[in-house]
Amino acid sequence: MGRLDGKVTVITGGASGIGAATVRLFVQEGARVVIADLQGARGERLARDLGDDAVFFHADVSREADVRGAMALAVERFGRLDCVFNNAGYGGVTGLIEETPVDGFDETIGVLLRGVLLGMKHAAPIMKRQGAGSIISTASIAGLRAGYAPHVYSAAKAAVIHLTRSLAMELGESGVRVNCICPGGIATPIFGKALGLSPEQADETVDVMKVVLAGIQPIKRAGQPDDIAQAALWLASEESSFVNGHALVVDGGLTGGRAWEEGQTLRARLRSLLGSDPS
C-alpha cells in the first residue's frame, strides 16, 4: 500500500529538480500525476518513464488558461483532483533596487506569485466539491528571512507564505488543506539557470552546488530535491490531515540562528579580549 494510493495530483514545474523528484516519489507511493511544465522534452520523457500513472501537460503557470487546463486534464484523465503542488519557479529578476526593471518584476511575480494563486484558484472549486484536498506551494526561507535571495524573489515567496495562511482559513472550512514548504539550500539546476545557462548546462552545476551548499547550515550537506519531495508527500498524505496554514521549513537548520561553532568562536574571542570568562 502506498501513502497516496488512489490520489490524483498536479505538479507544476514537474519536469526537473524538486518537481521531478516529487513526481517520481508520488507515483511510487500510488498517485497518478499530471506533470505541468514548460520543458516539453523533459516532461514527456519523465511521463514515458512512469507509464500510465503520469501524463505531461505543457503549461506556463503565469497563464491562467494553462493552469486551468492542467487541472481539467487531471479530472478528465484520472477522474478527480486530490493534491496540487504549486512548485514551478525560477530565480527571477536580480540586482540593486534602482536597477530593477519593471518588466522583470512583472515576469518574476507572474511565475512565483501569480502562478501559485492560479493553481489555488483552479484547484479550489474541484476540491471543495469533493470535500477534501491538499494544496501545497513551494515558498522559501527567503520569504521568512532577508538576505538569502534577490529582492523580488524574496518578496514573492513571503507573499506565497501569507497567501497560504489566508487561503487555509477559507478552504479549511470545506475540508481542503493549504500549506507551503520553505526550502533552504537545495542543490538543483535553478542556480545555473539564474546565471543564464541552458537547462543542460545548469544540470552540470548541481554537483558544484552540493559542495557550495554543504557548509552553510548545521547539517553538513546540501539539501536534495528528495528532501522537499518527502515533505510534499507528507503534506499530500492523510498523515498531515490536521495540518493547515503551515509553512514547513526544510533547511537543515539554516534559519535557526547563529551557528554553534560561530558562537563558540565569538566566546573564545571575548575571553581573549576581556582576559576572563564572560559568563
Residue 90 lies in a domain: yes
Q: How confident is the model at residue 68, as a pLDDT?
A: 98
Residue 263 lies in a domain: yes
User: C-alpha cell of 37?
Assistant: 511544465
Residue 225 lies in a domain: yes
* Within-domain flag for 279: no
pTM of full prediction above 0.85: yes
Q: Using CA atoms, how far apart are residues 214 and 231, in angstroms rounded to an integer?
A: 20
Q: pLDDT tens-digit profile of 57-104? A: 999 999 999 999 999 999 999 999 999 999 999 999 999 999 999 999
- The pLDDT value given to residue 193: 67
| C-alpha span between 210 and 207 (Å, rounded) | 5
**CATH number of the domain residue 115 falls in:** 3.40.50.720
Segment 95-150, tens digit of pLDDT = 999 999 999 999 999 999 999 999 999 999 999 999 999 999 999 999 999 999 99
The residues facing 134 across adjacent strands are: 83, 177
pLDDT at 194 over 90: no
Query: Which value, to the nearest 10 degrees, does the dihedral of the CA atoms of residues 202, 206, 212, 217 take?
Result: 120
What order of strands is seen across the sheet that includes strand 32-37? 54-58, 32-37, 8-12, 83-86, 133-138, 176-183, 247-250
Structural domain for 109, as ranges: 8-274
Q: Is 249 inside a domain boundary?
A: yes
Query: 1 pLDDT exceeds 90?
Result: no
Phi, psi angles (nearest 5°) of residue 209: -65, -30
pLDDT number for residue 21: 98
Per-residue pLDDT at 57: 98
Across 28-90, the runs of DSSP E, i.e. the strands, are 32-37, 54-58, 83-86
Query: What gap in Å lies between CA 259 and CA 81, rounded to an integer?
Result: 42
More confident residue, 134 or 265: 134
Predicted confidence (pLDDT) at residue 189 exceeds the cutoff of 90: no
Give residue-wise pLDDT tens across range 217-254.
Answer: 899 999 999 999 999 999 999 999 999 999 999 999 99
What's phi and psi for 33, nearest 5 deg?
-130, 135
Query: Which of 67, 180, 55 has its CA nearest to residue 119?
Result: 67
**Residue 2 forms part of a structural domain:** no
13-27: burial string, b at 16+ Cβ within 10 Å, e else: bbbbbbbbbbbbbbb
Strands, DSSP E only, in the chain?
8-12, 32-37, 54-58, 83-86, 133-138, 176-183, 247-250
Domain count, the chain: 1
Which residues are marked as active site?
153
Residue 84 lies in a domain: yes
Contacts for 233 with CB less than 8 Å, ≥ 6 apart: 3, 4, 22, 25, 26, 29
Residue 165 lies in a domain: yes
**Mean pLDDT across 49-56:** 98
Determine whether 187 is exposed, middle or buried from the number of CB atoms within 10 Å of its CB (0-12, 13-18, 19+).
Answer: buried
pLDDT at 154: 98
